Chain A
Amino acid sequence: MILGGFEIIGKAYNGEEAVSIFKSFSVKPKVILMDHRMPLKNGIEASKEILRIERTTKIIFTTADGSIKEEAFAIGAFSFLDKLFSIEYLIDEITRAFESYNSSLSD
């Protein structure tokens, strides 16, 4: 992440933590890297809730579970990285997510 010039402001180990940490921020994170298969709450469910709280959040799925790809896009994910992905591709997608976030603000 340091290589891309990004700052990580939070980490969660399951979907429930993800949502509660998201809620705890007064200034919401713009881009989220989301896994899917997690205990307590999965990535899709967590994303739904996060997007309900803040619609403009850019969620990038980084799960090894390819079967949920269409569903991820259907619920509003910004991107879905098929494993394996290179670091460059990850950085590119995160950059694209920030650009998209910033341009949607000015709309």
Chain B
Amino acid sequence: MKVLIVDDMKENLYLLERLIKKMGYEVVVAENGKQALEKLHRDNFILVISDILMPVMDGFQLLKAVRSDIKFNDVLIIIYTASYLEKEDEELALDLGADRFVRKPLDPEKLIEIIKNVIQTQEMRTNDFSKTIIKEEKELLKLYSERLIHKLEQKMVDLEKAYNRAEFYKDLFSHDIKNILQSIFAGIQTCDLQLTDSNKLGIIKKNLPVIKDQLLRGITLVSNIHKFSKLDESEPTLSRIEISNILRRVITNKKNSSIEKKINIEVDAFSDRIFILANELIEDVFENLLINAVRYNKNPTVEIIVRISEMERKSRKYSKFEFLDNGYGIDDSRKKEIFQRISIEDKSVHGMGLGLSLVKKIIESYNGDIWVEDRVKGDISKGSNFVLIIPDVN
């Protein structure tokens, strides 16, 4: 005697198959309603056990199709579902001609009891479904749609909850770790300042910069997790941002960042207020470009000019940012390469360390572009010009 089990999840099929085989029945499996229908036409089954939520043709649709065909009047149908658990779902299933409506999860023994019961009481049950379906076609369709919409709404709520939970933990972790690291950092700095240059304490003093290094790497990692997750979002949230204040802030920080070098940064902008469609990661873009300009520079005085202008490309308006430095330039062969990989050096102690490849990713998420040119064409010894263009906001 054959039993047909229908479920889109392989684990469910496996468990149910084992259970029914143990009862002494032959088992055939199907992954959705359409497959089930095909198999029903090809063979004789005494019982169908079907899930509801399946692709292609769901359990409700399968019920309707089976009960509309008098050939299958004697086939017993048990609906066994994890998703559609409400009273209205049960009513719809029974209206459509299911013999039993069972909610997952259920103890195997209980399920076996139900199956036995349904089979044993077969003679007593009606096999005329033209009368059982007392509700009209239209009404059934309406009920079906309602159940679907309800299910969808539930899933949306669940999804939102899960997302919020993930955001919450990510945020909590980031915030709390930063506090911990800051305290450790402050403690180390205090110790460092207290230590005098005596031989016994020399070793401790040597180790402090190493510990500091690690802390800064840790904080970079924390910041990066946040940024990476932002970039992961398929729709980056962009808004109209005025960037001259942000740029000014980043420049002020950079000017004071080096003990060995003097850093001059000038801004040459077409306007005092410049608006682009971007997000807070633009600050990291500016930071990163300036860090690179300072780092890859052997001169005692670092000279950087940030030039901001407007340009048009393919009838679209862009704000163009040029970061011109007096560093040691980038060979033509490497001009594309530097944007292609995150190098290990970029996860450095200097704070942000995002890497040019990530900067490129950020700019591309704004529908912009970034590339590098020689400051003086053909002469890399005169330094580089990092150019980025970002769409203007209309």
Contacts and interface: CB of A to CB of B under 8 A. Distances in A.
Interface string A55-73: 0000000001111011001
B128 interface: no
B296 interface: no
Interface residues of B, number: 21
B140 to A, nearest CB: 50
Contacts of B256: 92
A52 interface: no
A37 B185 contact: no
A45 to B, nearest CB: 18
A102 B182 CA distance: 30
Contact of A3 (B171, B179, B193): B193
Interface string B118-153: 000000000000000000000000000000000000
Residue among A37, A69, A83, A87 having the largest count of chain B Cβ atoms under 10 Å: A83
B181 A87 contact: no
A84 B171 CA distance: 16
Nearest to B256: A92
Residue among A64, A67, A69, A86 having the largest count of chain B Cβ atoms under 10 Å: A64
Nearest to A3: B193
Interface string A30-50: 000000010000000000000
Contacts of B245: 73
A3 B193 CA distance: 10
Interface in A69-104: 69-70, 73, 83-87, 92
B190 A84 contact: no
A37 B175 contact: yes
A10 to B, nearest CB: 20
B219 interface: yes
Contacts, number: 36
Majority secondary structure of chain B interface residues (helix, strand, loop or mixed): helix
Interface residues of A, number: 15
Contacts of A37: 175
A83 B190 CA distance: 16
B155 interface: no
Contacts of B181: 83-84
A58 to B, nearest CB: 16
A48 to B, nearest CB: 19
Contacts of A70: 280
A66 B226 contact: yes
Contacts of A85: 182
B348 to A, nearest CB: 14
Nearest to B216: A84
Contacts of A73: 245
Contact of B215 (A3, A84, A87): A84
Contacts of B179: 64, 83
B226 A86 contact: no
B44 interface: no
Interface of B: 171, 174-176, 178-179, 181-182, 185-186, 189-190, 193, 215-216, 219, 223, 226, 245, 256, 280
- The 4 lowest CB-CB distance pairs between A and B, nearest first, are A64-B178, A83-B178, A83-B182, A87-B189
17 contacts: A3-B193, A37-B175, A64-B175, A64-B176, A64-B179, A64-B182, A66-B174, A66-B226, A70-B280, A73-B245, A83-B178, A83-B182, A84-B178, A84-B216, A85-B182, A87-B190, A92-B256
